[in-house]
Structure 1
Amino acid sequence: MSRIVQGNCLEVMPTFPTDSVDFILTDPPYLVNYKDRTGRSIAGDVAGDWLGPAFAQMHRVLREDAFCVSFYGWQAVDQFMAAWRAAGFRIVGHLVFAKSYSSSSRFLKYQHESAYLLTKGRPAMPASPLADVLPWKYTGNRYHPTQKPVECLRPLVESFSPARGIVLDPFAGSGSTCVAARDAGRRYLGIELDPKYHAVAVARLAQPQDLRIAA
């Protein structure tokens, strides 16, 4: 049942049954009105009115005693925290991905990405917990302005979803979560609003695994 859908996740997720996915791994807009050096931008990256409804739907479709990993924008962490808690998620961990380079320099050099580990219910403790500080591989952002590396996403998929489980990404972008899920032997459901990024994701997932460019 693996597929990636072009559409608004606020319209698509309500069509999914309750308790129907095993893990959510997502990289939503950070609410920073981001534009890369070529002028590419991301839909929904200005106002956070979608945050609460989106995470409420994610909580509904996630099965009981399961995990969600969400990247977030540190400038808007209060809005993300409020949305997660209002939806019913428990915050149980924080992940830091250390970069060997800085994305930008202001008061500090920005050399990490971060995500929160959330749960619905109370899943069992893992026998071998994943480290909360992990390395980051630069993708070059070839497919998407905030492209995440498959090499960094795959350990999350393997640690927090069961074999042959269904991994959902409601903000799929160029499909990196779906590629990581497929490469880890999981099924996937992706939703992407922007037609051009959806087309890129479909094309990436059509490639044989050994020819796929990690991103």
Structure 2
Amino acid sequence: MPRSGIPVDQLLQGDCVEAMASLPDSCVSLAFADPPFNIGYEYDIYQDARKADEYLDWSLQWGRQVVRLLKPTGTFWLAIGDEFAAELKVLFHRELKLHLRSWVIWYYTFGVHCARKFARSHAHLFYFVKDPRQFTFHDDAVRVPSARQLIYADRRANPKGRLPDDTWILRPQDVPEGFQPASDTWYIPRVCGTFKERAGWHGCQMPEQILGRIIRACSSEGDLVLDPFAGSGTTLAAARKLGRRYLGFELSPQYADRAEARLASIHPGDPLEGSDEPFVTPRRVRVSPDGR
């Protein structure tokens, strides 16, 4: 328990709106939220098929708490799907007065199969700050080799590389001519069933490499990182590995227990799961026909 009685390095089971309301103002350096998308996904206890107005009202409730908890120099990242991306961008920007620095597209392979429309292979990552003039951004922590370095051997190239663009791709080897590591689509594969990283009990698991890039860039060692929808615990796991303090909330007792067990197996300094080199396939495990 750190200063001011704020719980840290903990995953607490319960409703995030109620739990965040008990915390003091301006105590969080970085918040990352990957809330339910309201697309009818079958969680164990949460109902993911609300009326649109009800879903947006609920989003405003938890969003107000996140913004209140952010320090004046704090940063908020939101992961969301197509259905409510536009509405939530307006909600956090216009209603909650955050400032949008980047609208990142995360592209992945093994997208969600759709029977009567194009298969989904992306998510939206909104990067907000509370103050557009004062915020944490460690550019050297997330630089990638530039085209001048890799292709042209240009002496004018910055030896540190360049910052990634705002489209993130995790498997560019699938489209080697279309996406480069420094492009504005971030390419990182979803955590599929055969990946070593896969927890196996939560269908919406984020890759640690996505959270690693965000945490390295937008927080410093020792900062408090908040995740109001902890799920499988990926944000908290990446924060722990990267030397940050963390606090998460999870509505499901079952998910919370399993995420706690995951965190208990992690030590600060452990490497992130998956490959930090986008042209290298992440580690996988062989799965037998019966799924074991």
Structure 1-normalised TM-score?
Answer: 0.88
Mapping 1:108-147, distance limit 5 Å: 108-122=118-132, 123-124=134-135, 127-128=139-140, 129-132=163-166, 133=168, 134-139=186-191, 140=193, 142-147=200-205
Partners of 1:77 and 1:45 in 2: CA distance: 16
Decide which moves more: 64-73 or 196-205: 64-73
Note if contact 1:29-1:45 (Cα within 8 Å) is conserved in structure 2: yes
Q: Which residue of 2 aligns with 1:17?
A: 24
Q: Which residue of 1 aligns with 2:259?
A: 201
The list of structure 1 runs, each at least 4 consecutive aligned residues, that deviate by more than 6 angstroms after superposition, is 211-214
Amino acid at match of 2:46: A
Tell which has more relative contact order, 1 or 2 (C-alpha 8 A, sep 6+): 1
CA positional deviation for 1:212: 8.9
Structure 1 residue aligned with 2:242, among 184, 196, 211? 184
Partners of 1:42 and 1:152 in 2: CA distance: 26
Note if contact 2:30-2:74 (Cα within 8 Å) is conserved in structure 1: yes
Amino acid at match of 2:18: E
Structure 2-normalised TM-score?
Answer: 0.66
- Larger Rg: 1 or 2? 2
CA positional deviation for 1:75: 0.7
Amino acid at match of 1:138: R
Amino acid at match of 1:88: K
Pair 1:184–1:42, CA change in 2 (3 A):
farther
Amino acid at match of 2:119: K
How many residues align? The count is 210
Note if contact 2:209-2:272 (Cα within 8 Å) is conserved in structure 1: no
Aligned: 1:50 with 2:58:
yes
Pair 1:78–1:151, CA change in 2 (3 A):
closer
Partners of 2:91 and 2:201 in 1: CA distance: 28
Decide which moves more: 79-88 or 190-199: 79-88
Pair 1:155–1:166, CA change in 2 (3 A):
same
Q: Which residue of 1 aligns with 2:107?
A: 98
Mapping 1:55-94, distance limit 5 Å: 55-85=63-93, 86-94=95-103
Decide which moves more: 95-104 or 121-130: 121-130
Amino acid at match of 1:207: S
Amino acid at match of 1:137: P
**Any stretches of 5+ residues in structure 2 without a counterpart?**
1-7, 141-162, 169-185, 275-292
Q: Which residue of 1 aligns with 2:278?
A: none
**Any stretches of 5+ residues in structure 1 without a counterpart?**
none
Taking only the aligned residue pairs, the percentage that are identical comes to 28
